[in-house]
Amino acid sequence: GLFLFDVKHTPLGCATWPALWLTDASHWPDHGEIDVLEGINGGAGTGNMMTLHTAQGCSMGGRRNMSGKALDSSCYVKDNDNAGCGVQAASGDSFGDAFNQKQGGVAAVEWRDDGIRMWQFARDAIPADIAAKKPTPDAWGAAAADFPNTHCDIGARFSNNSIVANIDLCGQLVEASWNSSSCGSGGAKCSDVVATKPGEFANAYWEFGAFEVYQAS
């Protein structure tokens, strides 16, 4: 299938951990998790993180055609503190304030047994075939993130997923880099920011234009 997400605004603010993802909450991690858009503390300068999380027996490696930077290779949730097999977007304006200032854009996920690919298009660079409701992924060039089935049986590891958009406050991913971030300067704790600084969350919201789902004919 092909998922297209028209995203107008990603959440900002210290202590925030927003994500747009696909999963089967009743059978996690056996049915897999696909993180499409994810950032912490507003994604300041780091851009979007695209990640797969799975049960045992799935990893990434070998030849991958993508513009993003591969991070951990193991997708297994019990490896590397459930970091998953992530890809860091090549551009810092793929999430957060820089993304919002450009009126957002479209995130695309192509899910096939051969692999999972993701793209991001800025508002002024959305392909004409998407605007025409005739999306053609093979015409879009290198993906932002490429997760091939070379060392992962995609058909067996991913099934029955639903779309989830949420915003966590604090949590493992935020806490891991809190002290080294500008949000943690001065010794402020993440929980203290949540409890005492409501102004931090004035822009902590998602805004979507549309979700579109296509199936290959």
All domains in the chain, ordered by first residue:
2-214 (2.60.120.200)
The predicted pLDDT at position 45 comes to: 66
pLDDT of residue 207: 98
Q: What is the pLDDT of residue 116?
A: 98
Whether residue 207 lies in the annotated active site: no
d(CA 120, CA 167): 20
Q: How far apart are CA 113 and CA 190, in angstroms?
A: 40
**What's the pLDDT score for residue 176?**
87
Q: Which residues of the chain are modeled with pLDDT < 50?
A: none
Record the tokens describing residue 155, joined without a space.
């058909």
- Please tell me the predicted confidence (pLDDT) of residue 194: 95
110 is catalytic: no
CA–CA separation, 74 and 91 (whole Å): 23
Specify the pTM. 0.95
**Catalytic residue of the set 33, 110, 175, 200:** 33
Strand partners, 6: 106, 210
Which residue out of 38, 110, 175, 200 is catalytically annotated?
A: 38
Sign of CA dihedral 141, 143, 148, 62: positive
Residues 174-192 have pLDDT tens digits of: 998 898 888 888 788 999 9
